[in-house]
């Protein structure tokens, strides 16, 4: 770092046990950056890309670097908040073609230096949002919490649709998505949002709002709706199978979304935990996430090598992640199920006319 002009701070900011943001990694990294700057003749820009609650760059990161480097911000180094909007599974294309670059800083000289760097990296059409650090930090939370809000909204409507015979949540999402004021993305109803970002950022924003005396009623409802979504699925299984102890249940897809092996804060993992509490016997299949699922459950569940193996003798199959290969599932794949009861949380098989007790989340049974 001694000879660098730009230092990007990109470490994780996970959820702490209390639900607030865990800044230990960022604090450590800040101290190390500071130490490395002690004997440097450069005046680098420290670019904070990690997701941090408003005020963290100025009140936590900056003083730590100042103390460790024995230099003052503005003199020995500059600091800028520059949140990113990468999605797992799309990291390379999102890095190469971001929809915009947010730069938050108080020193126009360093803001321009960073802007110049990004201009070289991207084509001339790239959009910039230049603002102060606390607003830049808040933009990231606004972005993720709005996405979570869209998902909880569509999930709530999907629950309503499920109780209107013949109603179809996908037709509704597609239609309202055509209204440019609404937008088509993030309206896929499902078992709730998971992953290492939306749930922890919602929690961090809620705790932050509480801490500064704002009651985040809407954000709380978004989170509650998300938690409830998984309970609705458990209730549906119980309604059909009765007591779940020793029932054989298959979970198809444990990754928090397709095209990743990541199971952190995956809704499927939450579902399995709930079913294990009820003493069900769980078999799972996932094209990529078996290894990571094993590190959560060890020998407590069975890991199948194929969809058909996973369904063998099962009394209920729940499709949690929209993996492309699940679209191939048909009547012959469910042939050896003990009870042909399928819950399709992503409406993958709606068109298939499966000879089964088939429930698609968001589609009202006729």
Instruction: Show which residues are catalytic.
Output: 197
Give me 13's structure tokens. 């900011």
Q: Which stretch binds ligand UGA (CB under 6 A): 61-69, 193-201, 233-241, 300-308?
A: 193-201
- From residue 280 to residue 319, what is the string marking binding to ligand UGA with x (rule CB under 6 A)? ----------------------------------------
| Beta carbon of residue 321, minimum distance to ligand UGA (angstroms, whole number) | 7
Chain CA centroid to CA 57, Å? 23
Is 51 among the residues that bind ligand UGA (CB under 6 A)?
yes
Q: What is the CA radius of gyration of the chain?
A: 24
Dihedral (Cα; 143, 145, 150, 153), 10-degree rounding: -170
Binding-site member from 161, 197, 268, 311 for ligand UGA (CB under 6 A): 197
Binding-site member from 76, 195, 287, 362 for ligand UGA (CB under 6 A): 195
Is 85 among the residues that bind ligand UGA (CB under 6 A)?
yes
**SS3 annotation, 99-167:** CCEEEECCCHHHHHHHHHHHHHHCCCCCCEEEECHHHHHHHHHHHHHHHHHHHHHHHHHHHHHHCCCCC
Binding-site member from 21, 23, 48, 147 for ligand UGA (CB under 6 A): 147
Q: Which stretch binds ligand UGA (CB under 6 A): 80-88, 215-223, 224-232, 307-315?
A: 80-88
| Beta carbon of residue 33, minimum distance to ligand UGA (angstroms, whole number) | 21
| Beta carbon of residue 196, minimum distance to ligand UGA (angstroms, whole number) | 6
**Nearer of residues 9 and 187 to ligand UGA, judged by Cβ:** 187
**Nearer of residues 100 and 243 to ligand UGA, judged by Cβ:** 100
Is 356 among the residues that bind ligand UGA (CB under 6 A)?
no
Buried b / exposed e along 121-145 (16+ C-beta atoms within 10 A): ebeeeeeeebbbbbebbbbbbeebb
- Residue 258 CB contacts under 8 Å (≥ 6 apart), including other chains: 89, 321, 322, 323, 324
Is 87 among the residues that bind ligand UGA (CB under 6 A)?
yes
Chain CA centroid to CA 121, Å? 27
CA distances from 219 to 143, 203, 205 (A): 13, 9, 8
Is 71 among the residues that bind ligand UGA (CB under 6 A)?
no
Binding-site member from 86, 184, 221, 241 for ligand UGA (CB under 6 A): 86
Number of residues that bind ligand UGA (CB under 6 A): 19
The contact set with ligand UGA (CB under 6 A) reads 51, 85-88, 144, 147, 151, 186-188, 190, 193-195, 197-198, 256-257
């Amino acid at each position: 770092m001694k000879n660098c002009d730009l230092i990007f701070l990109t470490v994780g900011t996970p959820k702490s046990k209390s639900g607030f943001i865990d800044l230990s990694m960022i604090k450590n990294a800040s101290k190390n950056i500071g130490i490395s700057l002690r004997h440097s003749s450069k005046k680098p820009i420290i670019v904070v890309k990690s997701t941090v609650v408003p005020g963290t760059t100025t009140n936590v990161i900056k003083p730590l670097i100042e103390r460790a480097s024995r230099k003052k911000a503005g003199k020995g180094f500059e600091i800028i908040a520059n949140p990113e909007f990468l999605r797992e599974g799309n990291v390379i294309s999102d890095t190469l073609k971001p929809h915009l670059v947010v730069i938050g800083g108080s020193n126009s000289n360093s803001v321009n230096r960073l802007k110049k760097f990004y201009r070289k990296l991207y084509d001339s059409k790239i959009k910039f949002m230049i603002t102060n650090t606390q607003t830049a930090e808040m933009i990231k939370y606004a972005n993720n919490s709005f996405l979570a809000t869209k998902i909880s909204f569509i999930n709530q409507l999907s629950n309503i649709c499920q109780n209107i015979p013949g109603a179809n949540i996908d037709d509704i999402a597609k239609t309202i998505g055509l209204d440019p004021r609404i937008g088509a993305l993030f309206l896929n109803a499902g078992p709730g949002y998971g992953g290492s970002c939306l749930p922890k950022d919602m929690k961090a924003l809620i705790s932050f709002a509480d801490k500064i005396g704002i009651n985040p009623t809407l954000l709380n409802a978004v989170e509650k709706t998300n938690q409830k979504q998984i309970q609705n699925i458990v209730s549906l299984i119980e309604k059909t199978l009765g007591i779940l102890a020793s029932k054989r249940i298959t979970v198809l897809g444990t990754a928090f979304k397709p095209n990743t092996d990541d199971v952190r804060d995956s809704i499927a993992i939450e579902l399995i935990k709930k079913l294990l509490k009820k003493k069900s016997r769980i078999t799972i299949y996932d094209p990529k996430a078996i290894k990571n699922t094993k590190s959560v459950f060890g020998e407590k569940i069975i890991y199948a090598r194929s969809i058909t193996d996973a369904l063998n003798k099962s009394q209920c199959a729940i499709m949690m992640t929209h993996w492309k290969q699940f679209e191939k599932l048909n009547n012959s794949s469910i042939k050896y199920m003990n009870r042909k009861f399928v819950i399709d949380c992503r409406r993958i098989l709606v068109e298939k006319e499966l000879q089964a007790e088939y429930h698609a989340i968001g589609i009202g049974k006729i």
